[in-house]
Amino acid sequence: MGIDTAVVLAGGAGTRLGNMTASIPKAMVKINKKPLLAWIIEWLSQSNVKNVVIGVAYRKEKIINYFGNGSKYSVDITYSEHTVDGGTIDGFQKAIRRYVSQETFFAMNGDQITDLQLRELADYHMKKKPLVTMVAVHPHCPFGCVKSTNDHFATQFVEKPECQELCSAGIYVFDRSILNQLPEKGDVEKAVFPRFATQKKLQLYRFGGFFITVNTQKDILEAENALKVKRL
pLDDT in tens, 74-130: 999 999 999 989 999 999 999 999 999 999 999 999 999 999 999 999 999 999 999
Predicted local distance difference test score (pLDDT) of residue 140: 63
Asked if residue 153 has pLDDT above 80, the reply is no
> pLDDT-derived band of residue 159, with 50, 70 and 90 as boundaries?
low
Asked if residue 59 has pLDDT above 80, the reply is yes
Q: Say how far apart CA 229 and CA 103 lie, in whole Å.
A: 38
Asked if residue 66 has pLDDT above 80, the reply is yes
pLDDT, mean of residues 160-183:
88
Q: Which of 2-11, 154-163, 195-204 has the lowest mean pLDDT?
A: 154-163
- Largest distance between two CA atoms of the chain: 63
* % the chain with pLDDT above 90: 77
Q: What is the mean pLDDT of the chain?
A: 92
Predicted local distance difference test score (pLDDT) of residue 77: 98
Asked if residue 139 has pLDDT above 80, the reply is no
* Structural domains in the chain (count): 1
Task: Say which CATH number the domain at 163 has.
Answer: 3.90.550.10
SS3 of residue 67 by DSSP:
helix
Asked if residue 164 has pLDDT above 80, the reply is no
pLDDT in tens, 211-230: 999 999 988 998 999 998 88
φ/ψ bin of 146: left (φ > 0), alpha (ψ from -120 to 50), beta (otherwise)? beta
Predicted local distance difference test score (pLDDT) of residue 205: 98
CB contact at 8 A, 108 and 118: no
Nearest to 70 by CA among 81, 79, 58: 79
Asked if residue 16 has pLDDT above 90, the reply is no
Highest mean pLDDT among 36-40, 137-141, 212-216: 36-40
Q: Return the higher-pLDDT residue of 71 and 16.
A: 71
Q: Say how far apart CA 68 and CA 88 lie, in whole Å.
A: 23
Q: What is the span of the domain harbouring residue 38? A: 5-229
pLDDT, mean of residues 36-53:
97
